[in-house]
Chains A and B, each alone.
Chain A
Amino acid sequence: MVVGARSDDVLVARLLAGDETALAIVFAEHGDLVYGLARRVTRDEHLAHDITQEVFAGLWQRPDKVDLARGSLRTFLAMVTHGRSVDEVRRSERRQRLEAVAPEVDAEDGPDVSVVDAAAERWRSSRLAAGLAALPSEQRRAVQLAYFEGLTYRQVAAALGIPEGTAKSRLRLALGRLRGTLGDDLRLVTG
């Protein structure tokens, strides 16, 4: 007998068997990630609410889609949530607003907390937020546009008024710099 039925593989097996209490456990453990990510990307509480319901309903209806050989349950949920959220943003009128308004880009390299929007204040205490804030402003903005506002790679380039190749470089450089800044801290959050 093994005490402990809450590992990813057992939880997915429970979902497959039809144990609805397992879904409640998965929500308790990952609902913050799903809801928070959906809200961050869509910037809309109602949409985030709907997306969260859709993501967990999808997990309940098709738990066989989770391939734990490819990643953790949390990573799977993050991937699905982000994809769903980006789809929603792109469908909405908000997309046009985002494309029409090219954000200002600071010329100076280095930390510039004013560019990070007010909602990000809450994250700032974490190392991740600090790492993001420490990015050169043009890199930080590229990450924000691509990841949290759901813009495509080409839309990032258009929004920032830069060549597509430059947008791609900024994204890669930003992620590389975050890695360098945060190092092993990310192992804790990505498991």
Chain B
Amino acid sequence: MTGPDETLAALAALHAVDDDERLEVGVIEPGLLRTAAGLAEIAAEPPPPGLAAAVLRDAVRARPPGRPPGGVGPCTPAEAFARTVAELEALLDSLTAADWTASVHGTDHAVRDVVVHLVGAERVATHWLLASGDDVAPSDHPALTAAAVADLDDASVDAVATAWRRAADDFAAAAGAADPELAVPYYGRRLRPAAMLVSRTFELWAHMIDITTATGRDLPRLDPNRMALLSGGLMQALATLDDATAQAPVRFVLTGDGGGVHDVAGRAPDGTGATIVGDVVDICRAAARRLAPDRLTVHVDGDPELAERFLRVLGSFALD
């Protein structure tokens, strides 16, 4: 049997023959193919000075860096929120009575409690948009939303789902009508309405993960436009963290659909710093605290301690 690498090597070495006759590569012995690959190696020689720079200059001229080739850009925050609301509504419609009582994360919280929590979250966000926010910490989020939904204590699951949808629509309307430059206090940060929509989309997605996991369904998959928006928002937020930006530059390379390259704190001229390479969905799940840090696989080029510091703060934006 010949290995695929050897087959390619043979095709390279015997390229000259290939035009005249299709070789039956499968009958060529593996050792012969390896020999053919070796022919290329004996030609290796250091490239002339300046060629590396010319290669990079031409390449980035042909394809701007930062995004996958032909890759999708982010959708608008309003579109992202609307699509995610629609998907969560469809998910809730599909739930059985047993699903509504399923335990989330093995706790005494049921799926119904999660949706009630979301009703509160939308109402609080809307209130802050309309009446300016209060400075509260992310850790206050569950208690704050619980207080906002006392009226749903005895409500049916259908009523809860309806209440959530109405609250989500109210929030989207309020965000759309707000002054785009309005800086709303939002769990320790000040966010523009667009950024609030991104944050809300992030939370809806996180809780969709909770519900699908609790009820044995496939995890929700956001389209690349939304992943690009959420990951971009996450990277912007990461750059604002004092304890993170105090360090040397870090580049996140987010792989997969909706991924891209994000220099969190600029690049040092001498190349110091760290490059963190990870799947865009996994990075966002870790940020939502829906993937344990020890289960997050990333590849690091550069300073591993610096990368570790950034990865540690990744989940600090999650509200619950």
Contacts and interface: CB of A to CB of B under 8 A. Distances in A.
Size class of B's contact patch?
Answer: 35 or more
A32 B65 CA distance: 24
Contacts of B299: 2-5, 7, 10
Contacts of B48: 35, 45, 49
A78 interface: yes
Given A14-B255, A33-B44, A178-B38, A152 B16 contact: yes
B152 to A, nearest CB: 42
A18 to B, nearest CB: 5
Interface string B52-72: 101110111011111111010
A52 B55 contact: yes
Contacts of A86: 15-16
Interface in A111-163: 122-123, 126, 128-129, 132, 143, 145-148, 150-156
Residues of A contacting B: mostly: helix
B249 to A, nearest CB: 12
Contacts of B298: 1-2
Residue of A56, A63, A86 with most chain B CB atoms under a 10 A cut-off: A56
Contacts of A20: 56, 59-60, 65
B254 interface: yes
Closest 9 CB pairs of A and B: A5-B299, A71-B8, A40-B43, A36-B45, A79-B12, A190-B37, A5-B301, A35-B47, A179-B35
Given A49-B48, A147-B13, 10 more contacts: A10-B277, A31-B55, A35-B45, A37-B43, A70-B4, A70-B8, A79-B9, A132-B42, A171-B14, A175-B36
Interface of B: 4-9, 11-17, 19-21, 29, 31-32, 34-48, 51-52, 54-56, 58-60, 62-69, 71, 251, 253-255, 259-261, 275, 277, 296-301, 304, 307-308, 311
